Amino acid sequence: MKLLVPVKRVLDYNVKPRVKADGSGVDLSNVKMSMNPFDEIAVEEAIRLREKSGGGEIVVVSIGEAKAQETLRTALAMGADRAILVVAEQKVEPLGVAKLLQAIVAEESPDLVILGKQAIDDDMGQTGQMLAGLLGWGQGTFASKVEVADGKVAVTREVDGGLETVSLTLPAIVTTDLRLNEPRYASLPNIMKAKAKPLANKTPADYGVDVAPRLETLKVVEPGKRQAGVVVANVDELVMKLQAMGIAK
């Protein structure tokens, strides 16, 4: 089967973001960037599905600055076959990304597109659902289990209160949740091999998609700081505090 996996380059999840003093955004100069953790899970799932189906191709796509090439090389080192980089001058919002992916899907005709459920920078959580809507395909979001059989994909979804399983007709869209799998590390030989794998450079104009932003960020501020608390010496003091707040008798 043919799989398409979009990946995003984001601030590494271990780095504490710093808000710029002028309120224009989060400072991304000289900080470690990595593949969005949910996208790593998506790449891993694609590799496992290909192993199970006994063949096929995995195409990874990234949309953003030229440096996103590094993120694509990481995906290639994990096991993807080839990459498409769409270099955009400015930040592309989920709707713009979904439209670009729609055009790429039209060219590539994958059986399944696997995305992360959200990017940990803008925390939007929209792209997969938007792409499914634009394509008129079924969507299996927040997946913790994916099984492909007989032209259908069964997706177990993490929902409030438990799990839900849906069956989708292929081609379809899946977005990954944390517990879907444990992504593999790229080995050094595979990192070397990934350098030779094909990577096509494109621009939004190549697909005729207007990616002008619809949202304007007026300001970005730090969240309100909590006041420093007190450390109590023992359980009795804690119980007294709780009683004073009226939550214990």
Partner 1 sequence: MKTLVWVEHDGGAVKDATLAAVTAAAKLGEVHLLVAGQGVDGVAQAAASIAGVGKVHVADDAAYAHALAENVAPLAADLMGHHDAFVVPATTTGRNIAPRVAALIDVQQVSDILSVEGPDTFTRPIYAGNAIATVRTRDAKLVVTVRTTAFAKADAQGGTGTVEAVSSTGDKSLSSHVSSEMAENARPELTSAKIIVSGGRALGSGEKFAELIEPLADKLGAGIGASRAAVDAGYVPNDYQVGQTGKIVAPEVYVAVGISGAIQHLAGMKDSKVIVAINKDADAPIFQVADIGLVGDLFTLIPELTSKL
For 61, list phi and psi in degrees, rounded to 5.
-130, 140
Closest to partner 1 by CB, 168 vs 194, is 168
- What is the distance between the terminal CA atoms of the chain, rounded to a whole angstrom? 62
Task: Give the span between the Cα atoms of 199 and 70, in whole angstroms.
Answer: 11
Instruction: Using alpha carbons, list the distances in angstroms from residue 234 to 237, 238, 241.
Output: 6, 7, 11
Q: What's the closest the beta carbon of residue 228 comes to partner 1, in angstroms?
A: 8
- Retrieve residue 232's tokens: 């109590």
Task: Give the span between the Cα atoms of 78 and 44, in whole angstroms.
Answer: 8
Task: Give the span between the Cα atoms of 60 and 47, in whole angstroms.
Answer: 11
Please say whether the dihedral angle defined by the alpha carbons of residues 206, 126, 145 and 9, taken in this order, is positive or negative: positive
- Retrieve residue 25's tokens: 């955004």
Q: What's the closest the beta carbon of residue 53 comes to partner 1, in angstroms?
A: 21
Q: What's the closest the beta carbon of residue 197 comes to partner 1, in angstroms?
A: 31
Closest to partner 1 by CB, 79 vs 96, is 96
User: What residues contact residue 245 under an 8 Å CB cut-off, 6+ apart?
Assistant: none
Q: What's the closest the beta carbon of residue 46 comes to partner 1, in angstroms?
A: 20
Closest to partner 1 by CB, 205 vs 242, is 242
Closest to partner 1 by CB, 108 vs 122, is 122
Closest to partner 1 by CB, 79 vs 140, is 140
Please say whether the dihedral angle defined by the alpha carbons of residues 126, 103, 5 and 25, taken in this order, is positive or negative: negative
Give SS3 for 181. coil
Closest to partner 1 by CB, 188 vs 230, is 230
Q: What's the closest the beta carbon of residue 36 comes to partner 1, in angstroms?
A: 12
Q: What's the closest the beta carbon of residue 82 comes to partner 1, in angstroms?
A: 27
Task: Give the span between the Cα atoms of 218 and 186, in whole angstroms.
Answer: 40
